[in-house]
Amino acid sequence: MAPVGRAHDKGDGPVSMTGRQVPTMAALMLVAMILLGFAVGAGWTEGVDLAVSAALALRVEAVDPALVTFMQAVSWIGGGIPRWVIVILLCGLVWHWCGPRCAVALGGASLLANLASSLLKLGFGRARPDVIDHLDHQTSFAYPSGHATSAAVVYLLLAWLAPPHWRTAAWTLAVAMIFLNAFSRIMLGVHWASDIVGGTLLGTAFALTAAWWVALGRLNGGGALRES
C-alpha cells in the first residue's frame, strides 16, 4: 500500500489510493479467504497443514522452555485485552500523525476485522489442530486466525499511515509482528498454516479498505500528514 502523503505528490499520496483497484484488491482478498475456507473444509489443505505443523509445533520435552515462553508472550500480546490496549494506543499515535479520520480508520477496521473473523470461525467451524497438546488456551474455532487477522489489519494500516520519518520502522514492525504472530500460533499448536493465511488475507482486506477510506477523505478535504 502506498503511504499517505500530500495531495499533490505523484504516486505517493491519497490519489494513488482512491482508484477502483484498491477496493477491488480488498474484495479479491476476501474472495480468496472464503475460497480457501471451502478448500479447508474439503480437506484439500490437509497435507500441507500437517506437514507445516509437524515441522514447527513445539514439543515441550524437546525444546528450550524459553522458546515456549517467548512464543506464548508473542501470542498473548496479539490477542485478548493486550491486543485492544495496543490498538487504543496506536489510535492515539495515528491521530497525532494524521488526525481523527486515521484514528477512526485504525480502530474501526480493527473492530470490524475481528468481528468478521469471529463470525467466519462460526461459519466454517474448523477444529483446532491436535498435533500436540495446545500450549495456549483456546475456546473458539480455528479458521480464520483472529491473531493473524488482527496483526495484518493493525500493523499494515499503521505502516501505511506512518509519516516519512517513521515509515521504515513502521513497515519493519508490521512485517515482524505478522510473522511472529503467524509462527507463534502454529508453534503453540493452536492453528494450522491455512488458518494463518486466511486470517492474513482477511486482515489485509480490511487494511486496504481503511486505507482507501482515509485517502478519499484526504483527497476531498485536503491536508497532509505531519512529517514527524
pLDDT in tens, 134-163: 888 888 999 999 999 999 999 999 999 999
Say what the pLDDT of residue 55 is.
Answer: 94
Model confidence band, residue 228 (pLDDT cutoffs 50, 70, 90): very low
User: What dihedral do alpha carbons 168, 172, 178, 181 form, nearest 10°?
Assistant: -140
Report, as an integer, the average pLDDT of 109-126. 97
Task: Give the pTM.
Answer: 0.88
DSSP class of 2: P
Q: Is the dihedral of CA 200, 203, 205, 210 positive or negative?
A: negative
User: What pLDDT is attached to residue 227?
Assistant: 45
Q: What is the pLDDT of residues 26-85, one digit of tens each?
A: 999 999 999 999 999 999 999 999 999 999 999 888 889 999 999 999 999 999 999 999
Q: What pLDDT is stored for residue 221 in this prediction?
A: 66
Higher pLDDT, 160 or 2: 160
